[in-house]
């Protein structure tokens, strides 16, 4: 009686990072979707979403960049899948603004010389996996459960905020990553810094800030007993992965400034902080691994903090 | 063919200056159905009214139209005069040719033409009008008060003192409500229990009050003056009549480590218990969930030690039906539980605060118990995790309140004041401690309130940080509070020993279900809706039901007590007469044509429409139709506009009247 | 102060359906404040906008109204709690229907006028009256009122048959 | 002497008649449907399809004013409709199942009461019938005693010929007069072969036998069987060339209004509803039974005619597919 | 006409599919009559003429064995369960053959207390479409002869039925003529819209077929039959016709499930369903309400929200 479930299929906007520093995210996403038999068709001729800089400089430009990309995506069948949290945020923000503001929409439509695809559904990889494909089906599809792997799931700033734009989960207390991890057989840890900022695009302009913020995240994950951190954003990945060595150098001493301006803190000092390496995984890397995709095709070689010792230790390689 | 009299008033010169009243009267005389018309200088004067009465008799008039001022001014006057002349008052109408005509137009020709039209319209209205008799409803002079907190207690005492019988129903084993839990009250810092318990005792001893504790409302039927309320008396397992309240059972009960709800789970109580020592009635109940006897059938200690033999394990829930004429709803509030998103609620949780997982993050009511001399710590401020005295305490205001992003947009009203009070109590008890308060702004509109708040800040050294908290987590034995200080423009982190959340005030669990039983409306948060925000703040839309206290919206104690007394006054007003007389402008159902789609019932704001079964002589169900309870109908007519077949009709504004008026345009 | 009374070619017929508690009282206030407004409006009083059936509006147009005003209490002020809320939905739907069959909605005005808003009553009535005055008489329903099925014309009088332009032309050409 | 008229001349005839200030009515495309409507010119005539409504409305309009009333100075003033203003009318292009209907209706309209509205229109009208070469599976005129070429009711009768022209036959003096007045449009001769008629699914019924059965079966399970599905609309009656029930309504106010007569249908639940609230035909099958009885028994009893021309309109239009021809066949096939 | 003929006729559905549905309906209807689950079944029987079918109220297993389903089964049978057309079936549980669009009416009638779900046994049809009115009624259902409403059907799966007959679920992708027609009318200048509807309504003969087939016109006293007061003139004149159709559209707003029966049965071809669809569209846009998807507590015009749109109110 019930019609057979159609094969899921998506159009795909990788974004610049996924074709550059975050290449592992791109290839693991493709590998994962292939393993799950979910269609993924890259939007032809896509270009940069404007990321964080554009909207700080020129609002019309930033909206137009995304609007044009969306109208390109409209040409490809299926909801638009986005992996990068920043691209996702920009595309959704654009749709949100243009839906709310007719004047802006008209300006943008003049700029891009065509209608803005404000209703094209834009979906983050996380919601595709957890909701559209479904946790139950995902759990069924697991070939190699990530048993014993303690993962700190890191959401960062953009995935859920502001709540009316991404509409992904509870904006301050989400659970979609944890749910996903459980479905993959891993153990999500409870930790404090999963919603804090990593410093994001200050990575070049003010590395000091990035070191401080990223250190707080890494340290918090270690305190919580995490083996690794799972991210869904190439920028977060960059900061947390590439800078681990620098962070150790800067904050190796026990008297860290982790907690900023503290009123009457008596907690300073104490034992030297834990200095473990914390491998950083993309959500798709872990998921693909669990689906039995060969680890060689997931880009573990190209990251700085080598995850292989951990994976070997957990007998996942 | 009707015989209508039209009386055109000059109103001195107020009308006649711009309207040619003679012409209007003449034109009126030519309208079909008009048997008599005239104009007169002052229709509302004694001679004017006499003129009307005489004309009714002389010309055998069967309807009267007075073309004069607004009916809002003199409709009553002329209806009385018509009634005195032997007409049904509802066959007397007014055509407003003053406020709606002579005063607002200058052109005499146009104004006169308009006045003629107005008269023509209104003549049609009188012609198609019907005699209506006022509706009388008998009143049972006995009131029901739901909820035994300070609101319910006050209302019950006031009504009872006025000489009327009152039934007070309380869900918990004792009356007292939240006020009994408080330590000291703002802005005077007097002991809550000291002022509360005498009132509780008054209730117990009042000859006019029947107190049902550990009881709930099962069903409500009837309408204003004539409610039948079924009350469920939950099995107490202790016979109230036999129990002397000696308390031996409680001391002998072998199971003593049950978290006490009265102490917010921080103190312990036995399985047979009274919630707190001053409970009214002082009759214990057995908590069957936790009683060994009920769970395994082995124990029975309390029954053995009970001298009067009051313990009865076989007791069942019983039901009584109470006939009452009015109901005061005073079900109060609960504090928002923030650790999770409540099922089916529009409100989001505060998982990021770690409430429920970090033991030293508590809510305001728990702090009240910690600060209370009768509380689990004997009035010492000790934190729950390890019993240490906290040296740094962070208070966070507006947790859940005014948080649109979390789904609550209202202000809980009492938190600013009680948080200020908390900092003071803390400072009085822990002299070397430091209190921090995160707040949006301090709202202190009340007598002596701002002075109180300033004292907390200026004399009692609480550090107020304007800003909100984003996250809290445990680090060692401290709680790291991450927040912002928007005045300094910086992020702030405090390592606290104890965090107290001023969580939002919400309606009691099940408030919506009770409202459905009562047929009263409630807002999206389940607070009960008053009939008019300004002018009927105590009445419900449903006649005969009144509101008191926080069930209608967050309130502090003085406001609650005021509203309770107001509700009691409303009940007394209702009880002042034996019969309730109502304007007969109510809807009626044409049962022949009603097909029972109940669209009328769906739009009725008064809950006046019931489903009625029509049966043939053999008793077989023919159909269900709508029935309007005239005692409850408010007379808005929304039902008639909604009914596709117009099988429901509002007397005084029938389709026939309106259509005839439109036809006469 | 006294404005010259202008003579107009066209005096539109404006019908106002108002609730007794707010708008009727607001109009009373306009009177006691001696505010001036066009005399074209004829007021029909209802207990509540919730009582106002769309059929009444239709009927008013059929009976020659050039403009119709429906006015009641502001949201939240309804004497009967929710009558105006129900009316709001009903009229939102009715407007869509009228518009779909080609009625110019400029002739149908809805407003909230409270008992304190005598000035607003004057504004609303004046604006509607003047707007309708510039639009001219409402032809649609009035014309319809006098139209017949062709076979009926064949009965009443021959000139009524000539409802289509071509037919009229054909008959006129006969001379 | 047989005569023929070309199609173009037929249209020219219409043009001429219009010029003569006659009301010329014929099948015309009106929106998406073909209806009998006043023709402004010969080019308006459409002979492709059977009009949705029958031509009875020419004599018996959907709705007509009978009188108007107004209360003036206390007295009621009544104005009658001036029937003398009814125009001279020519109906052109009615097939036998429509053209034949006045011949049936005249009887009832001039029986115990002369319906002057109807009769005046009849007097002032000329009917140009046309043999029917279309037809579909709902047609059953042969079964009720008519035929695609039946001349009954027509004043002038046309038969379509294979070359597109029409053979003409003046059936009555009125028809003769029409031809005589426009002799130049007609030519003498028999013309080519006529266009053949379409076969009908229900060819022959024994109307006497059916009437007899009806006489004996006022109560019969058949009625429930065939008419329980009837939803009680008036579509069948309104588009029927023979149904002639009407209702009279005062419209306006009690002081000023018009008395109107308009079509009514026995299928309506309120048709026989008494002021008391009692309804002798309380369920739908009794109402439908009345329709059959009236057509095939009562009317015959009174006027010796069957109140049906077999046009099949009711079969096509019935929302629930009630098929009068099938019912008649069923009765016809009954043994008892 | 010709423009249509030149279009390629996509074959929508094979006749064998309807035969399979017929079989399934017969099997189910016979069963529930035999085991006395129901007192009767409302279904379809073939008509005398080719390509026609009639509603049928069958009470025996033998009759039930003759029920059919074909593209000619156009009627919305739920009308036989409403009060105004009552009395034809005995009291008790009734079986009914229902297409997806008919089920919306059933849901609406349950909403309006006219039916109880437990008194119904719904044999849902996985309907691939039916003939349009006046279209070719023989042979395969194609793009040329499918009903207008079926072209944009979204409810062909009878969700919530007791049993479902048929398995075919894929519908051909056809141009939504109804939506296009509605858009065309909306795009007209106001005067043209008025002329469009005036012409249509003027043709109305007030046969009341639209009312009588409508599952929601179950009033025992239609407002339009009332004469004290006469809200709508009962005589078939353009003025009263316009009023009647506007009143009807208003009364159906928020209730009509879109079975389009009114439009199908109109002997004068008035596009009545357009009015109902327009109202449905408005209520969907304003209040996000779609009628008949499920039985609900209150329709959109029987409820309100405090923040409903009031941009049109001064």
What is the tens place of the pLDDT at every residue in A8-26?
A: 899 999 999 999 889 999 9
Strands B326-329 and B4-9: unpaired
* Residue corresponding to tokens 């309207």: B19
Closest residue of E to A5, CA-based?
E169
Q: Is A3 on the interface with E (CB under 8 A)?
A: yes
- % of residues, chain C, pLDDT over 90: 67
Contact D265 E213 (CB under 8 A): no
Cα–Cα distance, A111 to A99 (Å, whole number): 16
Cα–Cα distance, B142 to B222 (Å, whole number): 14
Q: Which residues pair with D25 in a beta bridge?
A: D38, D91
Residue ranges per domain, chain D? Answer: 3-332
Mean pLDDT, rounded, for D245-258: 89
Domain assignment of residue C149, given as a range: 142-175
DSSP 8-state assignment for residue B313: T
Cα–Cα distance, C47 to C21 (Å, whole number): 7
Contact E238 C144 (CB under 8 A): yes
Q: Does C22 lie in the same domain as C47?
A: yes
Q: What is the DSSP string of A27-89?
A: HHHHHHHHHTT-EEEEPTT-----HHHHHHH-HHHHHHHHHHHHHHHHTSSSPEEE--HHHHH
Per-residue pLDDT tens digits for A35-62:
999 999 999 999 999 887 888 889 999 9
Cα–Cα distance, B164 to B168 (Å, whole number): 13
Contact C25 B100 (CB under 8 A): no
Name the percent of chain B in helix, strand, coil, to the closest 5.
30, 25, 40
Closest residue of D to E233, CA-based?
D251
Per-residue pLDDT tens digits for A251-308:
865 444 444 433 433 343 444 556 788 999 999 999 999 999 998 889 898 899 999 9
Strand, coil or helix: B531: strand
Per-residue pLDDT tens digits for C66-122:
999 999 999 988 888 889 999 999 999 999 999 999 999 999 999 999 988 999 999
- The CATH number of residue C67's host domain is 3.40.50
C85–chain E nearest CA distance, Å: 6
Kindly tell me if the per-residue pLDDT of C123 is higher than 80. Answer: yes
Per-residue pLDDT tens digits for E66-94:
999 999 999 999 999 986 566 666 778 99
Q: How many CB pairs under 8 A join B and C?
A: 135
Interface of C with E (CB under 8 A): 54-55, 58-59, 62, 75-76, 82, 85-86, 88-105, 109-112, 124, 140-141, 144-145, 147-149, 152
Q: Does C150 lie in the same domain as C123?
A: no
Kindly tell me if the per-residue pLDDT of C2 is higher than 50. Answer: no
Assess if residue C131 is contained within a domain.
yes
DSSP 8-state assignment for residue B403: B
Cα–Cα distance, D140 to D133 (Å, whole number): 13
Residue ranges per domain, chain A? Answer: 9-123, 138-313
Give residue B467's pLDDT: 95
Fold of A138-313: Rossmann fold (3.40.50)
Sheet bearing D125-130, strands edge to edge: D33-38, D23-30, D89-94, D125-130, D156-160, D166-170, D3-5, D187-188
Choose the closest CB to B492 out of A173, A190, A261: A261
Cα–Cα distance, D279 to D272 (Å, whole number): 6
How many independent structural domains does chain C possess? 2
- Are the CB atoms for B500 and B436 separated by under 8 Å? no
Cα–Cα distance, A120 to A126 (Å, whole number): 18
Kindly tell me if the per-residue pLDDT of B557 is higher than 50. Answer: yes
Strand, coil or helix: B120: helix
Confidence category of residue B583, pLDDT binned at 50, 70, 90: confident
Q: Does C146 lie in the same domain as C133?
A: no
Give residue B341's pLDDT: 56
Mean pLDDT, rounded, for E58-69: 93
Cα–Cα distance, C112 to C121 (Å, whole number): 9
Cα–Cα distance, D161 to D165 (Å, whole number): 5
Residues in chain D within 8 Å Cβ distance of E59: none
Give residue A296's pLDDT: 87
Q: Is E230 on the interface with D (CB under 8 A)?
A: yes
Per-residue pLDDT tens digits for B398-428:
998 998 878 788 999 999 999 999 999 999 9
E126–chain D nearest CA distance, Å: 22
Residue D186 CA, chain-centre distance (Å), reads 28
Per-residue pLDDT tens digits for D145-187:
999 999 989 999 999 999 889 999 999 999 999 999 999 999 9
Kindly tell me if the per-residue pLDDT of B618 is higher than 70. Answer: yes
Assess if residue C8 is contained within a domain.
no
Name the percent of chain D in helix, strand, coil, to the closest 5.
35, 25, 45
* Domains of chain B, earliest start first: 4-127 (3.40.50), 135-233+319-332+510-578 (3.50.50.60), 235-316 (3.30.70), 335-506 (3.50.50.60), 583-663 (3.30.70.20)
Q: Give the neighbours of chain E: at least 3 Cβ pairs within 8 Å.
A: A, B, C, D
Per-residue pLDDT tens digits for D186-219:
998 888 888 988 888 887 889 999 999 999 999 9
Distances D115 to D106, D120, D123, D154 between C-alpha atoms, Å: 9, 8, 12, 21
Cα–Cα distance, E103 to E164 (Å, whole number): 12
Strands B463-466 and B434-439: parallel
Give residue B204's pLDDT: 94
- Are the CB atoms for A63 and A94 separated by under 8 Å? yes
Closest residue of E to A3, CA-based?
E169
Mean pLDDT, rounded, for D32-39: 91
- Are the CB atoms for B396 and B472 separated by under 8 Å? no
Assess if residue C3 is contained within a domain.
no
Here the tokens at position A142 are 């697991």
Closest residue of D to E56, CA-based?
D229
B69-105 residues labelled b (16+ CB within 10 A) or e (exposed): bbbbbbbebbbebbeebebbbbbbbbbbbbbbbbbbb
Contact B653 C46 (CB under 8 A): yes
Contact B592 D277 (CB under 8 A): yes
Give residue B406's pLDDT: 80
Mean pLDDT for all residues in chain E: 88
Residues in chain E within 8 Å Cβ distance of B646: 221, 223, 226, 231
Residue ranges per domain, chain E? Answer: 10-165, 177-299
Probe site for chain B from A152, A172, A196, A268 (most B CB atoms < 10 A): A172
Contact B658 C50 (CB under 8 A): no
Among the listed residues B571, B643, B654, the one whose alpha carbon sits nearest the alpha carbon of residue B157: B571
Assess if residue C6 is contained within a domain.
no
CB count in 10 Å sphere of residue B314: 6
Q: Which residues, including other chains, have CB under 8 Å from residue A259's CB and lie 6 or more apart?
A: A216, A265, A267, B480, B493, B495
Cα–Cα distance, E161 to E158 (Å, whole number): 6
Q: Does C148 lie in the same domain as C129?
A: no
Mean pLDDT, rounded, for E169-178: 80
Kindly tell me if the per-residue pLDDT of E167 is higher than 90. Answer: no
Per-residue pLDDT tens digits for D58-93:
999 999 999 999 988 778 899 998 888 888 999 999
Q: Which CATH number fits domain A9-123: 2.60.40.3880, 3.40.50.1000, 1.20.1050.140, 1.20.120.1200?
A: 1.20.1050.140
CA atoms within 13 A on the CB side of D268: 23
Mean pLDDT, rounded, for B342-370: 80
Q: Does C79 lie in the same domain as C121?
A: yes
E101–chain B nearest CA distance, Å: 21
Kindly tell me if the per-residue pLDDT of A5 is higher than 60. Answer: no
Least confident span in C11-25, E129-143, E251-265: E129-143
- Are the CB atoms for B89 and B53 separated by under 8 Å? no
Contact C164 D121 (CB under 8 A): no
């Amino acid at each position: 009686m019930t019609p057979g479930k159609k094969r899921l299929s998506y159009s795909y906007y990788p974004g610049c990072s996924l074709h550059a520093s975050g290449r592992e995210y791109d290839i693991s996403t493709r590998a994962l979707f292939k393993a799950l038999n979910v269609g993924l068709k890259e939007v032809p001729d896509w270009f940069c979403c404007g990321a964080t800089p554009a909207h700080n400089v020129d609002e019309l430009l930033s909206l137009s960049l995304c609007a044009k990309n969306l109208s390109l995506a409209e040409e490809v069948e299926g909801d638009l899948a986005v992996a990068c949290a920043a691209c996702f945020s920009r595309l959704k923000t654009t749709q949100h603004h243009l839906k709310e503001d007719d004047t802006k929409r008209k300006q943008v439509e003049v700029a891009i010389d065509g209608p803005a695809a404000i209703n094209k559904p834009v979906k983050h990889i996380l919601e595709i996996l957890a909701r559209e494909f479904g946790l139950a089906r995902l759990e069924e599809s697991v070939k190699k459960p990530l048993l014993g792997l303690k993962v700190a799931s890191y959401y960062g700033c953009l995935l859920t905020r502001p709540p009316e734009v991404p509409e992904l989960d509870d904006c301050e207390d989400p659970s979609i990553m944890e749910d996903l991890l459980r479905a993959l057989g891993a153990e999500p840890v409870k930790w404090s810094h999963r919603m804090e900022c990593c410093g994001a695009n200050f990575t070049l302009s003010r590395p000091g800030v990035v070191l401080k913020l990223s250190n707080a995240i890494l340290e918090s994950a270690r305190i919580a007993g995490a083996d690794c951190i799972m991210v869904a954003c190439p920028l977060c990945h960059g900061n947390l992965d590439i800078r681990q060595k620098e962070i150790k150098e800067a904050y190796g001493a026990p008297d860290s400034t982790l907690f900023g301006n503290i009123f009457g803190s008596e907690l300073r000092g104490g034992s030297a902080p834990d200095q473990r390496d914390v491998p950083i995984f993309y959500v798709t890397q872990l998921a693909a691994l669990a689906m039995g995709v060969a680890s060689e095709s997931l880009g573990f070689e190209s990251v700085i903090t080598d995850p292989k010792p951990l994976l070997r230790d957990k007998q996942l390689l | 063919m009707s015989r209508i009299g039209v009386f055109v008033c000059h109103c001195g010169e107020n009308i006649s200056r711009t309207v040619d009243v003679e012409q209007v009267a003449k034109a009126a005389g030519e309208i079909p159905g008009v048997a008599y018309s005239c104009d007169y200088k002052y229709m509302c004067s004694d001679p004017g009214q006499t003129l009307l009465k005489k004309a009714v008799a002389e010309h055998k008039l069967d309807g009267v139209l007075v073309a004069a001022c607004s009916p809002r001014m003199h409709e009553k006057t002329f209806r009385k005069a018509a009634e005195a002349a032997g007409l049904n008052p509802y066959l007397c109408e007014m055509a407003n040719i003053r406020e709606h005509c002579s005063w607002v137009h200058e052109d005499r020709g146009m104004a006169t033409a308009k006045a003629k039209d107005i008269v023509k319209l209104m003549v049609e209205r009188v012609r198609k009008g019907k005699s209506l008799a006022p509706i009388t409803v008998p009143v049972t002079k006995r009131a029901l008060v739901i909820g035994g907190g300070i609101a319910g207690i006050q209302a019950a005492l006031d009504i009872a003192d006025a000489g009327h019988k009152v039934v007070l129903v309380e869900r918990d084993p004792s009356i007292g409500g939240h006020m009994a839990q408080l330590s000291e009250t703002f802005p005077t810092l007097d002991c809550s229990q000291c002022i509360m318990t005498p009132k509780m005792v008054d209730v117990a001893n009042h000859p006019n009050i029947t107190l049902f504790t550990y009881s709930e409302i099962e069903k409500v039927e009837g309408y204003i003056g004539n409610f039948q309320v079924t009350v469920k008396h939950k099995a107490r397992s202790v016979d109230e009549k036999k129990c002397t309240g000696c308390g031996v059972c409680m001391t002998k009960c072998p199971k003593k480590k049950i978290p006490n709800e009265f102490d917010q789970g921080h103190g312990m109580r036995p399985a047979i218990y009274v919630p707190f020592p001053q409970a009214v009635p002082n009759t214990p109940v057995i908590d069957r969930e936790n009683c060994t006897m009920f769970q395994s059938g082995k124990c029975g200690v309390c029954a053995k030690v009970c001298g009067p033999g009051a313990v009865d394990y076989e007791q069942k829930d019983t039901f009584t039906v109470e006939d009452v004429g009015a109901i005061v709803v005073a079900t109060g509030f609960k504090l928002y539980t923030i650790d999770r998103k409540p099922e089916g609620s529009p409100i989001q949780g505060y998982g990021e605060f770690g409430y429920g997982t970090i033991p030293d993050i508590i809510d305001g009511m728990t702090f009240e118990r910690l600060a209370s001399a009768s509380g689990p710590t004997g009035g010492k401020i000790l934190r729950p995790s390890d019993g240490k005295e906290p040296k740094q305490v962070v208070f966070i205001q507006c947790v859940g309140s005014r948080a649109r992003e979390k789904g609550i947009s209202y202000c809980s009203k009492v938190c600013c004041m009680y948080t200020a009070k908390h900092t003071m109590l803390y400072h009085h008890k822990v002299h070397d401690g430091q209190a921090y308060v995160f707040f949006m702004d301090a709202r202190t509109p009340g007598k002596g309130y701002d002075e109180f708040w300033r004292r907390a800040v200026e004399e009692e050294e609480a550090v107020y940080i304007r800003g909100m908290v984003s996250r809290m987590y445990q680090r060692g034995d401290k709680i790291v509070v991450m927040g912002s200080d928007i005045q300094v423009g910086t992020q702030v982190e405090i390592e606290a020993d104890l965090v107290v959340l001023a969580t939002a005030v919400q309606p009691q669990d099940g408030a919506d279900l009770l409202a459905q039983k009562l047929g009263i409306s409630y807002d999206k948060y389940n607070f009960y809706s008053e009939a008019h925000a300004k002018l009927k703040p105590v009445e419900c839309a449903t006649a005969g039901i009144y509101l008191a206290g926080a069930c209608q919206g967050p309130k502090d104690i003085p406001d609650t007590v005021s509203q309770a007394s107001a509700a009691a006054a409303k009940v007394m007003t209702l009880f002042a007469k034996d019969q309730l007389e109502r304007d007969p402008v109510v809807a009626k159902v044409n049962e022949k044509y009603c097909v029972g789609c109940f669209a009328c019932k769906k739009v009725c704001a008064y809950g006046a429409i019931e489903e009625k079964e029509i049966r043939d002589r053999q008793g077989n169900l023919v159909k269900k139709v709508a029935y309007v309870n005239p005692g409850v109908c408010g007379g808005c007519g929304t039902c008639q506009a909604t009914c596709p077949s117009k099988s429901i009709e509002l007397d005084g504004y029938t389709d026939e009247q309106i259509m005839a008026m439109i036809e006469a345009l | 102060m006294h404005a010259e009374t202008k003579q107009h070619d066209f005096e539109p017929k404006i019908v106002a359906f108002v609730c007794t508690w707010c708008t009727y009282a607001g109009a009373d206030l306009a009177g006691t404040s001696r505010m001036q407004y066009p005399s074209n409006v004829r007021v029909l009083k209802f207990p509540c906008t919730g009582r106002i059936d769309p059929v009444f509006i239709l009927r008013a147009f059929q009976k020659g109204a050039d403009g119709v005003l429906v006015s009641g209490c502001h949201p939240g002020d309804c004497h009967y709690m929710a009558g105006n809320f129900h009316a709001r939905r009903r009229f939102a739907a009715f407007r869509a229907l009228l518009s779909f069959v080609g009625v110019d909605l400029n002739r149908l005005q809805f407003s909230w006028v409270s008992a304190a808003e005598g000035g607003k009553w004057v504004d609303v009535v004046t604006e509607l009256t003047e707007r309708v005055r510039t639009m001219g008489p409402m032809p649609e329903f009035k014309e319809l009122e006098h139209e017949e099925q062709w076979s009926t014309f064949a009965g009443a009088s021959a000139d009524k048959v000539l409802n289509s332009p071509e037919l009229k032309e054909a008959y006129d050409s006969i001379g | 002497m047989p005569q023929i008229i070309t199609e173009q001349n037929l249209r020219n005839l219409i043009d001429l008649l219009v010029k003569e200030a006659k009301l010329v009515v014929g099948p015309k495309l009106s929106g998406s449907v073909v209806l009998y409507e006043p023709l402004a010119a010969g080019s308006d005539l459409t002979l492709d399809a059977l009009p949705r409504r029958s031509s009875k409305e020419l004599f018996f309009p959907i709705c007509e004013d009978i009188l108007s009333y107004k209360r003036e100075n206390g007295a009621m003033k009544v104005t009658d409709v001036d029937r003398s203003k009814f125009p001279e009318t020519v109906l052109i292009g009615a097939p036998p199942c429509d053209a034949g209907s006045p011949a049936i209706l005249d009887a009832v309209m001039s029986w115990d009461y002369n319906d002057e509205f109807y009769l005046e229109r009849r007097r002032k009208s000329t009917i140009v019938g046309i043999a029917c070469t279309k037809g579909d599976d709902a047609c059953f005129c042969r079964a009720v005693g008519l035929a695609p070429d039946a001349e009954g009711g027509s004043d002038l009768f046309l038969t379509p010929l294979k070359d597109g022209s029409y053979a003409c036959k003046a059936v009555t003096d009125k028809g003769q007069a029409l031809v005589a007045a426009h002799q130049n449009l007609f030519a003498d001769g028999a013309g080519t072969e006529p266009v053949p008629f379409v076969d009908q699914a229900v060819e022959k019924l024994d109307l006497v036998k059916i009437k007899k059965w009806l006489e004996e079966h006022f109560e019969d399970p058949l009625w429930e069987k065939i008419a329980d599905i009837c939803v009680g609309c008036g579509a069948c009656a309104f588009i029927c060339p023979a149904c002639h029930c009407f209702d009279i309504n005062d419209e306006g106010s009690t002081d000023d209004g018009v008395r109107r007569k308009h079509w009514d249908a026995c299928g309506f639940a309120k048709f026989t509803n008494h002021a008391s609230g009692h309804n002798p035909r309380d369920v739908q099958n009794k109402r439908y039974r009345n329709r059959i009885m009236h057509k095939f028994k009562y009317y015959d009893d009174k006027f010796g005619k069957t109140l049906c021309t077999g046009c099949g309109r009711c079969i096509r239009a019935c929302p629930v597919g009630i098929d009068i021809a099938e019912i008649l066949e069923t009765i016809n096939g009954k043994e008892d | 006409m010709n423009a249509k003929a030149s279009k390629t006729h996509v074959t929508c559905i094979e006749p064998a599919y309807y035969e399979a549905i017929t079989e399934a309906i017969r099997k189910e209807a016979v069963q529930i009559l035999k085991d006395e689950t129901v007192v009767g079944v409302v279904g379809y029987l073939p008509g005398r003429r080719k390509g026609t079918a009639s509603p049928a109220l069958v009470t025996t297993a033998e009759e039930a064995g003759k029920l059919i389903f074909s593209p000619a089964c156009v009627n919305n049978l739920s009308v036989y369960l409403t009060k105004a057309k009552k009395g034809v079936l005995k009291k008790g549980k009734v079986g009914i053959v229902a297409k997806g669009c008919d089920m919306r009416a059933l849901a609406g009638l349950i909403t309006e207390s006219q039916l109880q779900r437990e008194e119904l046994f719904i044999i849902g049809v996985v309907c691939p479409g039916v003939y349009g009115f006046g279209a070719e009624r023989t042979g395969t259902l194609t793009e040329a002869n499918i009903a207008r409403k079926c072209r944009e059907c979204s409810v062909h799966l009878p969700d919530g039925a007791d049993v479902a007959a048929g398995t075919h679920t894929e519908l051909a992708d056809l141009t939504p003529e109804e939506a296009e027609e509605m858009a065309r009318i909306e795009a007209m200048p106001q005067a043209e819209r008025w002329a469009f509807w005036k012409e249509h309504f003027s043709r109305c003969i007030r046969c009341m077929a639209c009312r009588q087939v409508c599952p929601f016109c179950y009033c025992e006293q239609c407002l339009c039959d009332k004469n004290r007061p006469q809200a709508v003139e009962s005589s078939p004149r353009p003025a009263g016709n316009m009023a009647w159709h506007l009143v009807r559209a208003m009364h159906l707003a928020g209730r009509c499930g879109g079975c389009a029966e009114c439009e199908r049965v109109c002997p004068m071809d008035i596009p009545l369903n357009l009015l109902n669809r327009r109202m449905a569209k408005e209520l969907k846009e304003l209040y996000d309400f779609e009628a008949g998807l499920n039985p609900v507590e209150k329709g959109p015009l029987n409820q309100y929200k405090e923040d409903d749109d009031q941009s049109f109110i001064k």
